[in-house]
Amino acid sequence: MDGFFLINKEPNMTSHDVVYKIKKKFNFAKTGHTGILDPMAKGLLIVLINQATKLAFLFENLNKGYQGSMVFNKQYDTLDITGTLTAQKEMLLTDEMVQESVAFFDQKQYLQKPPLYSAIKVKGQKLYDLARKNIEIDIAPRKVKIYHLEMVSALKNDQIEFITTVSKGTYIRSLARDMGERMNTYGSLQSLTRTQIGSYDWKNAKTIDEVSLEDLNDVKSLFTNHQKIVLNDYLVRLVQNGVYLDERQIITDEPFVVLDQKENWIAYYEPIEKNKYRPRYFFQ
């Protein structure tokens, strides 16, 4: 049984906790997720089941949507309110100041410095492990894109509510920090809900307690819009053994799915160079 669940992660739970609980609940052999959601955050977590764990790469570059709240004039070591308060200001802020900061980052591509407390690995060690040991390390900024950023509440007690859509690798905690710095103050994340991963919506997700096997999404749904090619029995046997394909079978710049003559799904292929394609996944 292969596929994926749309899980509504509850706060105060790690992404690993969710994956482990799903594995135990249904006695699956393998489970995995497509992208970490911080323990304080809630919302959409895609959990891959059995052979589908090999398809995590399909989700890596998908945009993500969030809603949440930020607090300004306060700085935490983790860049969110679960951490230790390290500094604060009494700066008078206005809606106009926050709106200017929002407008500055809306639709902006920039180099963003990840939080020290994150799962990024440096020389084999996760940053949050180094941070807990008070080991200072220079983190290289990463190119990110803020596709949409909107303030959806008035400023109250130095707090705002927001919605945003961002590229792969964007940290909303870092965005809160950067928005604060734009106003010459501090910015920290107060709450966060992941609402979207690509076309997958939080509204269709279920909690660990609610989810059932009927909610398992078929792996094939990930390839609905991919080109399909039918090969003869001889070539299908080669495909099943992992052979690369070339222009003799297909000419395309896009990934595709190989079917046999009975329209059984055999393998998913991706181009690696002009007119050369390698298998990335085999259907069971």
CA distances from 277 to 190, 222, 251 (A): 46, 19, 10
Q: Which residues contact 109 (CB under 8 A, 6 or more apart)?
A: 143, 144, 145, 146
Contact between residue 107 and residue 146 where contact means Cβ atoms under 8 Å apart: yes
Same fold, 64-197 and 225-282: no
Structure confidence at residue 137 (pLDDT): 72
Contact between residue 127 and residue 35 where contact means Cβ atoms under 8 Å apart: no
Structure confidence at residue 104 (pLDDT): 98
Its pTM stands at: 0.90
Structure confidence at residue 118 (pLDDT): 65
195-242 pLDDT, tens digit each? 999 999 999 999 999 999 999 999 999 999 999 999 999 999 999 999
29-87 pLDDT, tens digit each? 999 999 889 999 999 999 999 999 999 999 999 999 999 999 999 999 999 999 999 99
134-173 pLDDT, tens digit each? 666 777 899 999 999 999 999 999 999 999 999 999 999 9
Is 60 exceeded by the pLDDT of residue 253? yes
Structure confidence at residue 140 (pLDDT): 82
Structure confidence at residue 131 (pLDDT): 55
CA distances from 75 to 37, 83, 88, 90, 165 (A): 21, 9, 6, 12, 24
Beta strands 227-230 and 256-259, pairing class: parallel
Structural domain boundaries of the chain?
Answer: 3-60+201-218, 64-197, 225-282
CATH of 225-282, one of 2.30.130.10, 3.30.50.10, 2.20.25.90, 2.60.120.10: 2.30.130.10
Question: Which one from 2, 38, 158, 178 is the annotated catalytic residue?
Answer: 38
Percent of the chain with pLDDT over 90: 89
| Superfamily classification of domain 3-60+201-218 | Pseudouridine synthase (3.30.2350.10)
In the block, tokens 């509850």 appear at: 10
Structure confidence at residue 82 (pLDDT): 94
Structure confidence at residue 124 (pLDDT): 62
Structure confidence at residue 110 (pLDDT): 98
Beta strands 42-49 and 187-197, pairing class: parallel
| Superfamily classification of domain 64-197 | Pseudouridine synthase (3.30.2350.10)
Assess whether 209 carries a catalytic annotation: no
